[in-house]
Amino acid sequence: MGRKLLTEHVNVEGIETFAVYRKHGGYRAVEKALKMTPEEVVEEVKKSGLRGRGGAGFPTGLKWSFLAKPEGVPRYLVCNADESEPGTFKDRYLMSKLPHLLIEGMIAGSYALGARTSYIYIRGELLYVLRILEKAIAEAYAAGFLGENIQGSGYSLDLHVHPGGGAYICGEETALLESLEGKRGNPRNKPPFPAVQGLYARPTVVNNVESIAAVVPILNMGGDEYAKIGVGKSTGTKLFSACGHLNKPGIYELELGVPVEEFIYSDEYCGGIWKGRELKAVVAGGSSVPILPKELILKTAAGENRLMTYESLSDGGFVTGTMLGSGGFIAMDETTCIVKNTWNFSRFYHHESCGQCSPCREGTGWLEKVLHRLEHGHGSMHDIDLVVSVAKQIEGNTICPLGEAAAWPVAAAVRHFRDEFEWHVTHPKEATQPGAVYRGNLVMA
Amino acid sequence: MEPTTAAAKPQFSPAAQAEIKRLLTHYPDDRKKSTLLPVLHIAQAEFGGWVSPEVQDLVAETLGLRSIEVYEVSTFYTMFNLKPVGKHVLEICRTGPCMLRGSDELTAQLERITGAKVGETSPDGHFTLKEVECLAACGFAPVVQVREKYYESLDTEENVDAMLSELKSLVHRPILPWEENGLPTSLQNK
């Protein structure tokens, strides 16, 4: 059993209240930070090697150090709590169970960045979590950890929670900022980056919920100690949300480096595939990352054990590897139709495209339509190449990464399961029977 | 739900007005537009689960915006219902992880039970069915959201029944967080 830095006290009765959270060591990181200079706090986070937990994996300390600091101009820390990547449900869990952990991270982070007002942008569907956070924030104000002159340090901070309105695109940081300004969630052209012109055109850092929460254990134990956990450049612990055809779906905090096979099959974690079935494929880091067949998710192409780390999961690039992404781990058993699943994901991206860039607006619609045709037995062999070609033409040609997010799953599905797509073309009658699934690749494996 | 007519111009309840006043303090004075999404949520909760053009005009007027600034936002975000809905809107997640655990079957089941198809309201006016994308509850699939509540693991008959009977037993909508003194009398026992 690995160390738990974020969720150690998650099952303590009343941990969502200030008093109980404080009794279990809460707000020590803030007290520690306020005795350091802001630069020293940034330095600790840099030393920790913490990489953004929202999906991109960009080093958090480095992101903080890019923040422009013009004299007399307010700057902002904005927490991205717009968790909407299919397969990802860790932030909802963290915020509803441990609201004070996020608030503590927000105070320490805001102090490090010199922000005097900070926002938590939470997806609109999670209004009930917004209520939990608002209650916890009121407690933190009452205890002197928010507001004027926090704990007599001279540092003041206001923290607010802001709901979205239902739009996956607002997880993209510049779309999130537009939305926070009361507009449609259309991503902005970059540069300028948010670090220079973010919220209200002022310097802004946008960080994922889990990244901000991780600042708390980093300050408590020190960046160097945190960096000792994990493997290589994958330091610390990470929350993985496991779903799909598993015996024990749920949220697991792992020291980075647990073998994928252990994560899926060990009773300590997901407990294997449900109903005694075989694993067919895994989407390891949220719906946007390439799907891998069983053989390639358990072992790399070179035959090494695949680990739950940024590097190991991306070993082999997009040919035989995938990405750690957001930690949304979707397991599919042998009865899963990959064509149907790919069509479902494409429908999602088409639905969620903001419509600004033609390649994405039109391309995601094409993908959905052609995949629907293939799934329903009306496709041709040409259609299989067509979806790959459309995906390629979306990729890299859009303002924001939703284009890539829509393209990658399709390209990977055809790459690894082409025979299943072809079977839908050659055997339309069989393929459209309810519950029918192509099993050729499993026989071969 | 009461039909909104031009004659009866909608008004926010005093509790909602107080909540909007509180929200306005969260943003810089010259950035009141930031309050738009939170206020649209309040409006939808206050006026029968949807935002009519008249209600959106009220939002615009309240925040000092032009109506078009509200319309362009309300039509972008999927949570705002632009047409009248039933007493309870069942938002059924249809995305991959829920599909893997039976959301198609759940949708069919709810259509059968309520007598409404997706996008429609049941003849008794109780339920509107709406399909939505990922609700970030994939480990507890399939999932339905109703207002601020998640109903999870709806792959068993018991859980579906429990959800529907809980919703049917609500005579009026639940008390909203800013309504400290309970529901405004105009909304009671509808």
pLDDT score for A30? 98
Query: How many domains is chain A built from?
Result: 3
pLDDT score for B6? 52
Query: Across residues A140-152, what is the average pLDDT?
Result: 98
- B chain contacts of residue A116, beta-carbon cutoff 8 Å: none
Q: In a mutagenesis test of the A interface, which of B24, B77, B107, B150 is the best target, namely the one with the most A β-carbons within 10 Å?
A: B77
Q: Which of A228, A244, A259 is the last residue of a domain?
A: A228
Q: Tell me the residue range of the domain where A217 lies.
A: 18-228
Asked if the structure places residue A61 within a domain, the reply is: yes
- B chain contacts of residue A167, beta-carbon cutoff 8 Å: 76-78
pLDDT score for A383? 98
Helix or strand or coil: residue A217?
helix
- B chain contacts of residue A175, beta-carbon cutoff 8 Å: none
**B61/chain A closest Cα distance in angstroms:** 15
Judged by average pLDDT, the poorest of A109-123, A147-161, A367-381, B6-20 is B6-20
CA distance A229 to B49: 48
- Per-residue pLDDT for B172 more than 80? no
pLDDT score for B186? 46
Assess whether A210 and A254 both reside in one domain. Answer: no
Asked if A245 is an interface residue toward chain B (Cβ–Cβ < 8 A), one would say yes
Assess whether A117 and A236 both reside in one domain. Answer: no
Assess whether A48 and A151 both reside in one domain. Answer: yes
Asked if A187 is an interface residue toward chain B (Cβ–Cβ < 8 A), one would say no
Assess whether A181 and A317 both reside in one domain. Answer: no
Are A383 and A376 contacting, i.e. CB atoms less than 8 angstroms apart?
no
Assess whether A177 and A274 both reside in one domain. Answer: no
The full DSSP string for A27-48 is: THHHHHHHHS-HHHHHHHHHHH
CATH of the domain at A206: 3.40.50.11540
Query: Across residues A180-195, what is the average pLDDT?
Result: 97
pLDDT score for B169? 85
Chain B CA closest to residue A343: B96
pLDDT band at B2 (very low <50, low <70, confident <90, very high): low
pLDDT score for B181? 56
Order of strands across the sheet that contains B127-132: B127-132, B88-93, B144-146, B149-151
Assess whether A176 and A254 both reside in one domain. Answer: no
What confidence tens digit (pLDDT) does each residue in A393-413 have?
Answer: 999 999 999 999 999 999 999
Asked if B71 is an interface residue toward chain A (Cβ–Cβ < 8 A), one would say no
- B chain contacts of residue A405, beta-carbon cutoff 8 Å: none
Assess whether A116 and A188 both reside in one domain. Answer: yes
The whole-chain average pLDDT of chain A stands at 96
Assess whether A346 and A407 both reside in one domain. Answer: yes
What confidence tens digit (pLDDT) does each residue in B26-36 have?
Answer: 999 999 999 99
Q: Which two tokens stand for residue B138?
A: 């994939």
- A chain contacts of residue B101, beta-carbon cutoff 8 Å: 243-245
Contact A128 B148 (CB under 8 A): yes
Indicate the pairing of strand A230-231 with strand A204-208. unpaired
Of B59, B82, B88, B84, nearest in space to B2 by CA: B84
CA distance A165 to B77: 5
Q: Which two tokens stand for residue A250?
A: 């749920």
Percent of chain A scored above 70 by pLDDT? Answer: 99
Chain A CA closest to residue B91: A125
- Per-residue pLDDT for A335 more than 60? yes
pLDDT score for B171? 66
CA distance B47 to B181: 18
A240's enclosing H/E stretch is strand A237-244
What confidence tens digit (pLDDT) does each residue in B115-134 have?
Answer: 999 999 999 999 999 999 99
CB contacts under 8 A, A 250-269 vs B, are: 250-251
Question: Which residues lie across from B144 on neighbouring strands?
Answer: B92, B151
Asked if A343 is an interface residue toward chain B (Cβ–Cβ < 8 A), one would say no
What confidence tens digit (pLDDT) does each residue in A306-319 have?
Answer: 999 999 999 999 99
Contact A182 B79 (CB under 8 A): no
pLDDT score for A433? 87
- Per-residue pLDDT for A445 more than 50? no
Of A287, A350, A271, nearest in space to B100 by CA: A287
Asked if A13 is an interface residue toward chain B (Cβ–Cβ < 8 A), one would say no
Assess whether A159 and A57 both reside in one domain. Answer: yes
Query: Across residues A213-233, what is the average pLDDT?
Result: 97
pLDDT score for A253? 98
CA distance A101 to A123: 19
Asked if the structure places residue A4 within a domain, the reply is: no
**B32/chain A closest Cα distance in angstroms:** 8
pLDDT score for B137? 96
pLDDT score for A385? 98
What confidence tens digit (pLDDT) does each residue in A120-144 have?
Answer: 999 999 999 999 999 999 999 999 9
User: Which of B33, B97, B136 has the CB atom closest to A181's CB atom?
Assistant: B33
Chain A CA closest to residue B39: A163
- A chain contacts of residue B31, beta-carbon cutoff 8 Å: 181, 200
User: Which of B28, B40, B78 has the CB atom closest to A200's CB atom?
Assistant: B28
Q: Which residue has the higher pLDDT, B188 or A143?
A: A143
Contact B138 A345 (CB under 8 A): no
Asked if the structure places residue A195 within a domain, the reply is: yes
Across the A:B interface, residue pairs with CB atoms under 8 Å apart total 144
Assess whether A203 and A266 both reside in one domain. Answer: no
Q: Which of A228, A253, A273 is the last residue of a domain?
A: A228
pLDDT score for A1? 60
CA distance A18 to A16: 7
- B chain contacts of residue A165, beta-carbon cutoff 8 Å: 37, 40-41, 73, 76-80
Contact A182 B37 (CB under 8 A): yes
Q: Which of A279, A299, A333 is the last residue of a domain?
A: A333
Q: Which residue has the higher pLDDT, A281 or A430?
A: A281
pLDDT band at A271 (very low <50, low <70, confident <90, very high): very high
What confidence tens digit (pLDDT) does each residue in B157-169 have?
Answer: 999 999 999 998 8
CATH of the domain at A387: 1.20.1440.230
Query: Across residues B138-158, what is the average pLDDT?
Result: 95
- A chain contacts of residue B67, beta-carbon cutoff 8 Å: none
Assess whether A355 and A328 both reside in one domain. Answer: no
Query: Across residues A417-421, what is the average pLDDT?
Result: 96
- Per-residue pLDDT for B7 more than 80? no
- In degrees and rounded to multiples of 5, residue B33 shows phi and psi of -60, -25
Asked if the structure places residue A316 within a domain, the reply is: yes
Contact A249 B76 (CB under 8 A): no
Contact A348 B133 (CB under 8 A): yes
* DSSP label of B30: G
pLDDT score for A443? 38
Asked if the structure places residue A1 within a domain, the reply is: no
- Per-residue pLDDT for A444 more than 50? no
Chain B CA closest to residue A119: B26
3-state secondary structure A101-158: HHHHHHHHHHHHHCCCEEEEEECHHHHHHHHHHHHHHHHHHHCCCCECCHHHCCCCEE
Q: In a mutagenesis test of the A interface, which of B25, B134, B149 is the best target, namely the one with the most A β-carbons within 10 Å?
A: B134
Asked if the structure places residue A13 within a domain, the reply is: no
Asked if the structure places residue A10 within a domain, the reply is: no
**B78/chain A closest Cα distance in angstroms:** 5
CATH of the domain at A287: 3.10.20.600
Percent of chain B scored above 70 by pLDDT? Answer: 88
Contact A330 B96 (CB under 8 A): yes
Assess whether A210 and A345 both reside in one domain. Answer: no
Asked if the structure places residue A2 within a domain, the reply is: no
pLDDT band at B3 (very low <50, low <70, confident <90, very high): low
Query: Across residues B75-87, what is the average pLDDT?
Result: 97
Contact A163 B41 (CB under 8 A): yes
Contact B139 A124 (CB under 8 A): no
